[in-house]
Amino acid sequence: MDYKDLANAIFPDAKDITYYEEKYPERNLKEGAIVTRFAPSPTGFVHIGGLYQSLIARKLANQTEGVFLLRIEDTDQKREVENGITDIVQSLDRFGIEPDEGMISETEGKGNYGPYRQSMRKEIYQSYAKYLIEQGKAYPCFCTPEELEEMRAKQEAAKIRPGYYGVWAKCRNITVEEAIEKINNGENYIVRFKSPGREDRKIKHHDVIKGNVDFPENDQDIVIIKADGLPTYHFAHAVDDHLMRTTHVIRGDEWLSSVPLHLQLFHELGFKPPKYAHIAPIMKNDNGNKRKLSKRKDPEAAVSYYDEMGIPKEAVNEYLLNIANSNFENWRRANKDKSIDEFELQLNKMSVSGALFDMVKLLDVGKTVISKFTAEEVYENAFNWAKTYDKELEEMLQDKQYALKIFGIERGNKKPRKDIAKWSDVKENIEYMYDEKFFAKEQEYPYQVIHEKEDVDKILDLYMEKYYNENDDKQQWFDKIKELAGELGYAKEVKEYKANPDAYKAHVGDVSTVLRVALTGRTNTPDMYEIMQVLGKESMKKRFEVAKKK
């Protein structure tokens, strides 16, 4: 009896690997095309780091006319949640990331290199495991969990490296006959890789992001097929990325230390290894300590957070590119209006250690991004967000024409307003433009330089009676405020006031502030001329009356 008999005893029905080699041929892509993938487990949580990786992968595939695919790694079925795949697909979609191939729902995929869900690829892994067994490069292991635990305890007590290797790899030396007999007797087993490595030898590896790294060779006989017949991550990675013809494995750097094992698996399987690019995690400054963004502690670690807050996808994507390549910022400065699709992302410019996540900066990007939206785009986004997250805002936005007027204030010009960073800012930002909201609230009226009731009332009355005309253009409107100031003894120009401060009580700017505060309850608003246009004379009159009663 030989290895072939052993392989047949374990996987009697597995196909010959040539079947799969032919079924999934080399891809016919142009030179330099990057085939890469995002390979999450469907655990019900999409981490911002996963979005970051996908964005990078999507972009590189676009830049090189390659392929970006979504593979679902669900071999650890204990960790799975219902609708976990749909959640991933939808999360990527919400950020405008559409894979060329891969899963599109819980059960369906698209593309010729599938199935793209590992639990549906069981037979494929078993064929390759069989292939390894036939060559004496893998073997069944009958050790029980108790035996393995005992081994681990011994290793720990003797302070030696833990694991299944060398003299510790008990089942490595079981004869084929003995193994077949145990199998026939119904003993439980898993399949292990027979590592040809030695710990005292080093391998050199070039990582696209981390650069040159040295590692000891792998000498662990890792499990490749578990008791449930499914592969471990390591084995599935080698088989899948080979058969899917991945050129670049872009993944989190927690996998960097597995590279010696992975290269060994590729080698023993007779596969050409891919290039590896290990991305450093996104970090957070936690009271001066830099640590990974944590699923448990940080709400912003979940991509769902950005939806909930209404941070536009354009801002998140732009911010992530900012983190990815430090030259992005300069590029943006030089190309203010270009789409991020035109930025040439480079893997080898990614930072080796983790970049810090900065919410303030992200919101700042959000302000700039939204400032470039048309009123119609702001409306659509805010309305869509409100439908899910804010009923009151949804209600306010029912009157689309009125909302468009508000969002149109100071928009579309050279220096557009930059007061909205996220859709959850909108309500607070536009509330005062709605009479029913404005009057429902007890307003504070934070008058500034001119604040005596008598002075304020005079300005409001005179302005309404004599100076306000809704048909005035902006210049006429402003001239009238100056006249009003002049009539009441304030300086008509700020310059005049500065040249001779003792001659005046205040200046035209202070008069404007009175009008602004009375109208809106705020000292800071977008362009007051436009606000008045949108509010209309009736609302203004009412607002002044209410202000005067305070």
Nearer to ligand GLU, 118 or 520 (CB): 118
Residue 88 beta carbon to ligand GLU: minimum distance, rounded to whole angstroms:
11
Nearer to ligand GLU, 213 or 534 (CB): 213
Nearer to ligand GLU, 340 or 345 (CB): 345
Residue 39 beta carbon to ligand GLU: minimum distance, rounded to whole angstroms:
4
Nearer to ligand GLU, 75 or 325 (CB): 75
Handedness of CA 520, 530, 461, 450 (dihedral sign): positive
CA–CA gap between residue 334 and residue 172 (Å, rounded) = 62
Nearer to ligand GLU, 171 or 230 (CB): 230
CA distances (Å), 450 to each of 340, 460, 524, 537, 540, in order? 47, 12, 16, 23, 20
Sort 333 into a burial class: Cβ within 10 Å, 0-12 / 13-18 / 19+.
exposed
Q: At what angle do helices 84-94 and 48-64 cross, to 10 degrees?
A: 60
CA–CA gap between residue 41 and residue 236 (Å, rounded) = 13
Residue 401 beta carbon to ligand GLU: minimum distance, rounded to whole angstroms:
48
Nearer to ligand GLU, 275 or 437 (CB): 275
Residue 55 beta carbon to ligand GLU: minimum distance, rounded to whole angstroms:
14
Sort 112 into a burial class: Cβ within 10 Å, 0-12 / 13-18 / 19+.
exposed
Q: Are 189 and 147 in contact (CB under 8 A)?
A: no
Tokens standing for residue 332: 């943006």
Residue nearest to ligand GLU (CB): 251
Q: Are 518 and 460 in contact (CB under 8 A)?
A: yes
Q: DSSP code of 377? A: H
CA distances (Å), 360 to each of 133, 299, 418, 516, 547, in order? 55, 15, 14, 29, 35
Nearer to ligand GLU, 111 or 252 (CB): 252
Nearer to ligand GLU, 41 or 317 (CB): 41
Residue 53 beta carbon to ligand GLU: minimum distance, rounded to whole angstroms:
8
CA–CA gap between residue 510 and residue 141 (Å, rounded) = 85
Residue 235 beta carbon to ligand GLU: minimum distance, rounded to whole angstroms:
12
Q: Which positions touch ligand GLU (CB under 6 A)?
A: 39-41, 73, 237, 249, 251-252, 255
Query: If you write DSSP's letter for every residue of 111-146 in order, what string do you get?
Result: STT---BGGG-HHHHHHHHHHHHHTTSEEEE---HH
Residue 208 beta carbon to ligand GLU: minimum distance, rounded to whole angstroms:
14
Residue 334 beta carbon to ligand GLU: minimum distance, rounded to whole angstroms:
34
CA–CA gap between residue 100 and residue 356 (Å, rounded) = 30
Q: Are 285 and 354 in contact (CB under 8 A)?
A: no
Nearer to ligand GLU, 249 or 403 (CB): 249
Q: In sequence order, which residues have a C-beta less than 8 Å from that of residue 537 and are 6 or more positions away?
A: 468, 470
Query: If you write DSSP's letter for every residue of 405-449 in order, what string do you get?
Result: HHHHTT-SSSS-----SSGGGHHHHHGGGSHHHHHHS-------S
φ, ψ dihedrals at 224, nearest 5° = -110, -35
Residue 207 beta carbon to ligand GLU: minimum distance, rounded to whole angstroms:
14
Tokens standing for residue 444: 């504070």
Nearer to ligand GLU, 142 or 255 (CB): 255
CA distances (Å), 351 to each of 50, 277, 354, in order? 17, 11, 7
Question: Within 10 A of 271 (CB to CB), how many other CB atoms are there?
Answer: 16
Residue matched to tokens 């030259």: 327
Nearer to ligand GLU, 39 or 532 (CB): 39
Nearer to ligand GLU, 191 or 250 (CB): 250
Residue 222 beta carbon to ligand GLU: minimum distance, rounded to whole angstroms:
15
Residue 302 beta carbon to ligand GLU: minimum distance, rounded to whole angstroms:
15
Nearer to ligand GLU, 3 or 255 (CB): 255
Residue 72 beta carbon to ligand GLU: minimum distance, rounded to whole angstroms:
9
Q: In sequence order, which residues have a C-beta less than 8 Å from that of residue 466 and are 6 or more positions away?
A: 484
Nearer to ligand GLU, 73 or 134 (CB): 73
Residue 281 beta carbon to ligand GLU: minimum distance, rounded to whole angstroms:
11
Angle at the Cα of 257 from the Cα atoms of 114 and 207, rounded to 5 degrees:
75
Residue 265 beta carbon to ligand GLU: minimum distance, rounded to whole angstroms:
13
